[in-house]
Amino acid sequence: METGRPSAEEKFDDEDYPAYTMGRAAEILGVTQGFLRSLDEAKLITPQRSPGGHRRYSRYQLRIAARARELVDTGTPLDAACRIIILEDQLEEALRINAELRKNS
């Protein structure tokens, strides 16, 4: 029966599924919840909200937060780390599009 909702298996495979609470995400990354909130305030990652209003993070967002932590741990200011990550993401997307265009031409 088709319900329109993703199955448990699809949720496990979906890197954008908001599976992690803020506490669990902070524990996995070895950061404080305040650090995760600061990434939200800087608009680097915007976690989804549970019906109760709690932040929920995806695996993709955890990877971005981990990259931010790497940069901050090496002395990069948070705002600069966020900009670097955004530019890295834009470059990766541009390279992907370029490769796709070359493949199709």
At 53-90, the pLDDT tens digits run: 999 999 999 999 999 999 999 999 999 999 999 999 99
pTM of the model: 0.80
In the structure, what pLDDT confidence band is assigned to residue 13 with cuts at 50, 70 and 90? confident
In the structure, what pLDDT confidence band is assigned to residue 27 with cuts at 50, 70 and 90? very high
Please provide residue 74's backbone torsions phi and psi, each rounded to the nearest 5 degrees: -95, 5
On whether the CB atoms of residues 53 and 24 are closer than 8 A, the answer is: no
In 3D, which of 51, 42, 66 has the Cα closest to residue 18?
51
Q: Which domains does the chain have, with CATH numbers?
A: 14-104 (1.10.1660.10)
